[in-house]
Amino acid sequence: MAYGLFVTFEGPEGAGKTTLIRALEARVREAGMTPVVTREPGAGEFGKTVRSLLLEGGEIAHPAELFLFLADRAQHVETLIKPALAEGKVVLCDRHADSTYVYQAIARGLDPTFVRQANTFATGGLKPDLTFLLDLPAEVGLARLSNREGGQDRLDRAPLEFHQKVRQGFLDLAAEEPGRIILLDATQDPKNVESAAFATLSERTVHLR
């Protein structure tokens, strides 16, 4: 049976994930493969509803926040990611389980062991084949977002210290899993970030070489 490639994009706020995914989508298509671009939270009708609860409303108790991200992920994996992989597609997903570990366990302070187990339960054990971590100082990413149309969401507005913990949490995860998580310097020009990411993607995918 065909099996595609599951690629996730992680990093602090405003790191340039969306920008990079758009560029890679075009290059994957040019190479004759079928990309599927998606994100967490927010895929499908269920995801859109959960996303608005998470990002557009007022404060949410930390455990409730965790379970909303997990519910979004469980639905997303089951209804979109697994079927696309089974059809041999390249799934480019903006944020996934590493974000839950870093934001809800490391930055919010929920039990890391429980969060890891809950993530595995939500994904049914599916793990990304490859993860790009776009790293940059929290202040730089937040400054990029301050000019964005639509302004900041509930999580963007968390204190700087929270975002600094997020950055460090991602760097620690990358050190734990260097084979899966590829560190990219997100302060570079977008074209350089794209070239570095595409070089790695090509190494991992015979059809893109």
Decide: helix, strand or coil at residue 149. coil
Distance CA 55, CA 10 (A): 17
Regarding beta strands 35-39 and 90-94, do their DSSP bridges make them parallel or antiparallel, or are they unpaired?
parallel
Binders in 117-136 for ligand T5A, by CB under 6 A:
none
Least distance between ligand T5A and beta carbon 20 (Å):
7
Name the closest residue to ligand T5A (Cβ).
Answer: 16
Residue with tokens 């570095």: 196
- 55-74 residues in contact with ligand T5A (CB under 6 A) are 55, 69
Name which position in 28, 81, 93, 95 contacts ligand T5A (CB under 6 A): 95
Distance between CA atoms of residues 85 and 83, nearest Å: 6
**What is the signed CA dihedral for 55, 174, 193, 129, rounded to 10 degrees?**
-90
CA nearest 170: which of 66, 113, 96, 120? 96
In the complex with ligand T5A, the residue whose CB is nearer, 14 or 128, is 14
Q: Which is nearer to ligand T5A, 82 or 144 (CB)?
A: 144
Is 116 a binding residue for ligand T5A by CB under 6 A? The answer is no
Is residue 15 within the footprint of ligand T5A (CB under 6 A)? yes
Q: Which one among 4, 35, 41, 47 touches ligand T5A, defined by CB under 6 A?
A: 41
Q: Confirm or reject binding of residue 169 to ligand T5A (CB under 6 A).
A: no
Candidate list 7, 13, 24, 105; residue touching ligand T5A; CB under 6 A:
13
Q: Which of 19, 79 has the CB closer to ligand T5A?
A: 19
Omega within 30 of 0 (cis) for the link into 41? yes
Sort 62 into a burial class: Cβ within 10 Å, 0-12 / 13-18 / 19+.
exposed
Binds ligand T5A (CB under 6 A): choice among 8, 38, 100, 123: 100
CB of 99 to ligand T5A, least distance (A): 4
Residue 59, class by beta-carbon neighbours within 10 Å (0-12 exposed, 13-18 middle, 19+ buried)? exposed
- Footprint on this chain of ligand T5A (rule: CB under 6 A): 13-19, 40-41, 55, 69, 94-95, 99-100, 103-104, 144-145, 148, 153, 155, 186, 188, 190, 193
